[in-house]
């Protein structure tokens, strides 16, 4: 492993050295899964199908959504290791003095966060699948398409979160922007409920935004709500968003370097 990529271990090691955080994450995930399972089973009581989903599909979608959110569930703000904290303290300056460019360092740290979160997802998925809480994928093709779509969905989410962090260089107090993005991401990605349950105008609006590709598309492919035959188009849309967001964030990184300031020191 090259020296720069050792930075990817910072977040996982920080979590592993705090057993209380690991226990808390396990308990929280277990409670969330239990609650959404009971909720959706209750909602489907006496109902065979709704919005093109049966009970098993709806429960599987809801549980997988809880698990998928854990991929980027590490809270760096708790350890004052967020971009916002570094900008406010002035320590963000060191990101621009290291031999590793700040854009690459941010990517390395994000990969470490997502790799750690993915371990939780795989462990939770295997457990839920073994006890019958979630159903297997609709088909082998659906499983492969869902995995590819989830990959591009996470890349899209990476750039969306990066946009919010880069906003710190123009507005140091961007906690409101973080909250707005968090709500928009959860609502428009289908984390609260599958987008198939929303009105037609809402589904059309979501289709022209990048959020649904981060969660609704891969999970809908997994449960069979989106046919495998439509996967190439959906994945192509995700790839287009990745390219557009990558170009935008690259430009903003260059502009951010010109606006580095130190607050209070």
pLDDT band with cut points at 50, 70 and 90 for residue 265: very low
Render pLDDT for 191-230 as a digit per residue (tens, 0 to 9). 888 998 999 899 888 888 999 999 999 999 999 999 999 9
67-81, 101-115, 154-168, 209-223: segment of lowest average pLDDT: 67-81
Measured CA to CA, the distance from residue 73 to residue 129 in angstroms comes to 21
> How far apart are the C-alpha atoms of 261 and 106, rounded to whole Å?
18
175-189 vs 140-166: helix crossing angle, rounded to 10:
160
Structure tokens at 178: 């973080």
pLDDT confidence of 79, banded at 50, 70, 90? low
Length of the chain: 265
CA–chain centroid gap for 192, Å, is 14
Find tokens 């360092």 and name the residue: 105
């Amino acid at each position: 492993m090259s020296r720069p990529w050792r930075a990817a271990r910072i977040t996982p090691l920080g979590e592993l050295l705090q057993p209380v955080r690991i226990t808390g994450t396990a308990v929280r995930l277990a409670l969330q899964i239990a609650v959404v399972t009971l909720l959706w089973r209750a909602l489907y009581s006496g109902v065979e199908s709704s919005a093109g989903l049966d009970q098993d599909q709806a429960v599987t979608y809801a549980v997988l959504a809880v698990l998928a959110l854990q991929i980027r569930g590490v809270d760096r703000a708790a350890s004052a290791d967020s971009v916002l904290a570094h900008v406010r303290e002035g320590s963000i300056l060191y990101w621009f003095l290291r031999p590793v460019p700040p854009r690459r360092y941010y990517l390395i740290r994000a990969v470490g966060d997502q790799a750690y979160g993915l371990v939780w997802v795989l462990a939770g998925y295997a457990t839920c699948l073994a006890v019958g809480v979630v159903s297997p994928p609709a088909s082998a093709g659906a499983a492969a398409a869902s995995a590819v779509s989830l990959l591009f969905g996470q890349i899209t989410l990476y750039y969306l979160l990066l946009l919010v962090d880069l906003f710190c260089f123009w507005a140091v107090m961007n906690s409101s922007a973080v909250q707005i993005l968090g709500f928009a991401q959860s609502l428009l990605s289908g984390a609260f409920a599958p987008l198939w349950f929303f009105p037609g105008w809402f589904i059309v609006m979501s289709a022209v935004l990048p959020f649904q590709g981060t969660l609704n598309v891969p999970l809908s492919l997994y449960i069979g709500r989106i046919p495998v035959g439509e996967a190439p188009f959906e994945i192509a849309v995700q790839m287009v968003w990745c390219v557009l967001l990558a170009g935008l964030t690259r430009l903003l990184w260059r502009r951010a370097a010109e606006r580095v300031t130190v607050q209070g020191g």
